[in-house]
Amino acid sequence: MAITGSGSLPIPLFVFVISVAFLSKGAAETVTVDGQNLATDNVSVIEGETATISCRVKNNDDSVIQLLNPNRQTIYFREVRPLKDSRFQLVNFSDNELRVSLSNVSLSDEGRYVCQLYTDPPQEAYADITVLGNPIIESREDVVSEGNETELTCTAMGSKPAASIRWMKGEEELTGETTVEETYDRMFTVTSRVRFSVTKEDDGVPVDCIIDHPAVKDLLAQRHLEVLYKPEVKIVVSYPDGLTREGDNLDLTCIAEGKPHPHQINWLRVDDDVPPHAVVTGSDLYIENLNKSYNGTYRCVASNAVGEAYDDYILYVYDAPTTIPTPTTNPVNTQDSRASDGAPQKIDHAVIGGVVAVVMFAILCALIVLGRYFARHKGTYFTHEAKGADDAADADTAIINAEGGHNNSDEKKEYYI
């Protein structure tokens, strides 16, 4: 627009409207100057990473482009870098763009950077760099013993707007206490503390401090817990495999694991002394030629800087096994007497089946023979009292004929089997 004064030529008046906003990482808002050809972007970056500033010109008439830092010092004049800071590197230079990268960004690099175009009058556009500090996890102690409480603190510095912090221990989400402090230029420092008791299962488990912020997504700092715990003790019987009997040898091994590793392992006999000829070698206990006087509870005790723990083994010596001659017909199935005590004897089902088959066959043969015999001797037989009855007129006559016939006729004997 132009303002006309009395007796004077029109005087041009340029109005600059600058828009600045905080953006999410990976996105940028273009900052333009109304009525001009110069444009740039605001930049959000995580501390230690690289920020890129782009000064762009539309319809450039060979005017010079330069980039200034927040202190108005020239970083690049065209493709030349007057500023002696090697972190600034030229990415692209042309008539339409000056693009510069800033590596290893720190919180001190925050501020308003100026893109300047040498026209008449000069034109400027502004790029705000916002640096989000990396979260820092601090622990009240480096190492904690099981059963004790630990406290972790996570701090996110230089965020705008204020970041939010959440905690994860492995797959478990923890609840922390958060405080927000405003520092300078509407920047915020956020601190979160979390407390919890630890167990030996927490040893080596990662604890994550996760930062949620418009500029970043799931930025995290991680710390692995180091937990000390007392030993875990277990007694393993190396020999014998079965029952312990008189005359046998006994070999026990004590396995103890802890953090730190157990520095001392002791063997003892509860309520009595260890047999005088027992041999203790490191974590092993060896007793030879057992007898019933050795019965009792044997204990392995392991200790470290956190505490001590133990495991018990109850020894009961059985009688020596009775010697049984080995059957010559089945030498393959001979077993150790300790393993066979109390075990049921195996039954040979094949032998039983064979005997049953022979018996059934004999019964079948007998039935066949009897059937054939009865078939051959089938007929009608009469007693002596029945003789003469066929020709008699009545019963009395039949009896008289039978008696007479019996007396007067030749006797014929018949036998029935």
Average pLDDT on 138-160 reads 91
How much helix, strand and coil, in percent to the nearest 5, is found in the chain?
15, 40, 45
Average pLDDT on 155-162 reads 82
Q: Looking at the DSSP assignment, which residues form a beta bridge with residue 2?
A: 12
**Average pLDDT value for the chain:** 80
d(CA 286, CA 173): 50
pLDDT band at 281 (very low <50, low <70, confident <90, very high): very high
For the chain, the residue count is: 417
Contact by Cβ (8 Å): 131, 48: no
Ranges of each domain in the chain: 37-132, 136-225, 229-315
State the CB neighbour count (10 A cutoff) for residue 5.
Answer: 8
d(CA 284, CA 269): 14
Answer with the residue of higher pLDDT: 334 or 275: 275
Contact by Cβ (8 Å): 144, 226: yes
Q: Determine the 3-state secondary structure of 12 from DSSP.
A: strand
Answer with the residue of higher pLDDT: 107 or 239: 239
d(CA 124, CA 119): 10
- Asked if omega into 161 is within 30° of 0 (cis), the reply is yes
The pLDDT value recorded for residue 266 is 95
The pLDDT value recorded for residue 336 is 38
Answer with the residue of higher pLDDT: 409 or 106: 106
Q: Radius of gyration of the chain from Cα atoms?
A: 55
The pLDDT value recorded for residue 85 is 93
Per CATH, which fold does 37-132 belong to? Immunoglobulin-like (2.60.40)
pTM, entire model? 0.56
Closest listed residue to residue 143, CA positions, set 87, 54, 224: 224
Query: Residue 71 pLDDT > 80, yes or no?
Result: yes
Matching CATH topology for 37-132 and 229-315? Answer: yes
If you average pLDDT over each of 17-26, 132-141, 293-302, which comes out highest? 293-302
Answer with the residue of higher pLDDT: 259 or 31: 259
d(CA 93, CA 67): 12
Q: Which CATH class is domain 229-315?
A: mainly beta
CATH, range 136-225: 2.60.40.10
d(CA 214, CA 44): 9
Closest listed residue to residue 306, CA positions, set 155, 81, 144, 195: 144
Q: Determine the 3-state secondary structure of 98 from DSSP.
A: strand
d(CA 401, CA 202): 123
